[in-house]
Amino acid sequence: VETGLAYVSVTKAAGSVSLTVERHGKTEVISAERLVMTTGRIANSENLGLEDLEIETDARGSIKVGRDMATTRAGVWAAGDVTDRDQFVYMAAYGAKVAINNALGLEPMRYDNAAMPWVVFTDPQVAGVGLTEADAKAAGYEVKISVITLDNVPRAAAARDTRGVIKLVADAKTDRLLGGQIAAPEGSDTIQTLTMALKFGMTTKALGETIFPYLTTVEGLKLAAQTFDKDVAKLSCCAG
pLDDT tens across 148-159, in order? 999 999 999 999
Strand pairing of 177-184 and 125-130? Answer: antiparallel
Domain 41-113, CATH homologous superfamily name and number: FAD/NAD(P)-binding domain (3.50.50.60)
Residue ranges of the chain that CATH labels 3.30.390.30:
118-231
Find out if CATH 3.40.50.1010 is the number for domain 118-231: no
pLDDT tens across 61-94, in order? 999 999 999 999 999 999 999 999 999 999 999 9
Distance CA 189, CA 210 (A): 18
Residue ranges of the chain that CATH labels 3.50.50.60:
41-113
Does residue 235 carry a pLDDT above 90? no
Distance CA 167, CA 127 (A): 11
Residues 6 or more apart from 135 whose CB is under 8 A from it?
179
Q: Is the pTM of this model over 0.75?
A: yes
Mean of pLDDT values over 189-214: 97
Distance CA 43, CA 58 (A): 10
